[in-house]
């Protein structure tokens, strides 16, 4: 029995003077200009074809070895995810080789998979001649089909375009409302007058070539000097609702002032280092603040007099609202019970 391996002929037209390795492309010094151009054309075809080859590879494996086993083998061989390989197989099954158009990539077919085959078989050969990107080709398909099969397309979505500031200023002089809407109307009218002239160019205002391109995402707001917007009224900020300030919360005394903190209470260390306790000149003010804090938070604290260093720095009596720890509360109850029993 013959064990000979039949090698199918390769259809990628590349010159023999180049050596293809995963890490580099080596071109022979004797390569002529014609062979060099032939090599470049072949590389561009290779870049467009490799993704479609992945689709055919995934589909063949799933049909030959089963869906699960074929995906496993393809994932181990290509290091691609199972989800990507499954999508590639769907693309290859939906757009088999007789339905493919030269010049279109996997991304073109991926965006058109949701459209019925009866539509794409007739529409795609004509639309592919326009040389659109994958996203632009899908937008055109939605427009010609009349709806988006996925339901995600909206005609209210807009695209931004960059034009020179000089041209923007010239158009804004004739715009009845927004400049962007005026430009959109001009382009729509031009397309209605020239429906079958995709290669014609539209004449624009002359430019000296020194104007920087507009980079704003919303060009209608990039030329504020031409069409200022009344963001504020003439009488200042009248008519605008002023944001209300929330009252500052009482800052408690977590540890005695001037005490060297240890690692016994991490929460107290963080609180004491991040904020100083509020100072009150009278005992009545401190008690009123403690009462309000208890109503807001549901637990009571202790009012203490700070002997140092706050009273020394301010030169008067100072009172703080001291945080009452649960351990201090239980210790006070235990001490009181021991005093009563004694």
- The CA dihedral of 107, 112, 118, 120, to the nearest 10 degrees, is -60
Do the Cβ atoms of 279 and 295 come closer than 8 Å? Answer: no
Secondary structure of residue 267 in the 3-state scheme: helix
Over the stretch 68-77, which tens digit does the pLDDT of each residue have?
A: 999 999 999 9
88-115: average pLDDT: 91
Quick one: pLDDT at residue 170? 78
Q: Pick the residue with more confidence: 224 or 259?
A: 259
Our measurement of the distance from residue 147's CA atom to the centroid of its chain's CA atoms, rounded to an integer in Å, reads: 26
Q: What was the pLDDT predicted at 72?
A: 92
- What percentage of the chain has pLDDT greater than the value 90? 17
- Are the beta carbons of 92 and 61 closer than 8 angstroms? no
Residue 146 pLDDT grade (very low, low, confident, very high; cuts 50, 70, 90): confident
CA distances to 145, 169, 266, 270 from 174, in Å? 35, 9, 68, 63
Q: What is residue 224's predicted lDDT score, i.e. its pLDDT?
A: 42
């Amino acid at each position: 029995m013959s064990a000979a391996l039949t090698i199918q002929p390769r259809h990628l037209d590349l010159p023999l003077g180049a050596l293809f390795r995963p890490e580099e492309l080596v071109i022979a010094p004797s390569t002529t200009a014609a062979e060099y151009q032939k090599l470049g054309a072949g590389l561009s075809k290779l870049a467009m074809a490799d993704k479609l080859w992945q689709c055919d590879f995934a589909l063949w494996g799933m049909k030959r070895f089963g869906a699960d086993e074929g995906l496993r083998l393809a994932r181990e061989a290509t290091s691609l995810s199972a989800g990507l390989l499954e999508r590639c197989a769907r693309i290859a099954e939906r757009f088999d080789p007789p339905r493919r158009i030269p010049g279109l990539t996997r991304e073109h077919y991926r965006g058109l998979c949701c459209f019925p085959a009866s539509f794409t078989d007739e529409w795609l050969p004509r639309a592919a001649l326009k040389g659109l990107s994958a996203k632009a080709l899908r937008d055109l398909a939605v427009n010609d089909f009349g709806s988006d099969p996925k339901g995600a397309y909206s005609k209210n979505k807009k695209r931004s375009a960059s034009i020179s500031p000089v041209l923007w200023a010239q158009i804004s002089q004739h715009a009845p409302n927004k400049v962007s809407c005026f430009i959109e109307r001009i382009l729509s009218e031009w397309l209605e007058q020239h429906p079958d002239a995709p290669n014609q160019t539209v004449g624009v205002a002359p430019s000296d070539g020194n104007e920087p391109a507009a980079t704003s995402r919303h060009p209608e707001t990039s030329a504020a000097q031409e069409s200022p917007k009344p963001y504020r009224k003439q009488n200042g900020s009248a008519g605008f609702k002023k944001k209300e300030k929330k009252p500052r919360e009482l800052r408690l005394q977590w540890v005695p002032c001037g005490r060297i903190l240890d690692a016994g209470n991490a929460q107290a260390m963080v609180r004491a280092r991040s904020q100083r306790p509020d100072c009150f000149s009278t005992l009545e003010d401190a008690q009123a603040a403690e009462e309000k804090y208890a109503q807001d938070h549901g637990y009571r604290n202790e009012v203490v007099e700070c002997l140092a260093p706050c009273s020394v720095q301010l030169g008067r009596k100072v009172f703080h609202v001291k945080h009452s720890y649960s351990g201090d509360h239980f210790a006070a109850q235990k001490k009181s019970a021991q005093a009563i029993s004694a």
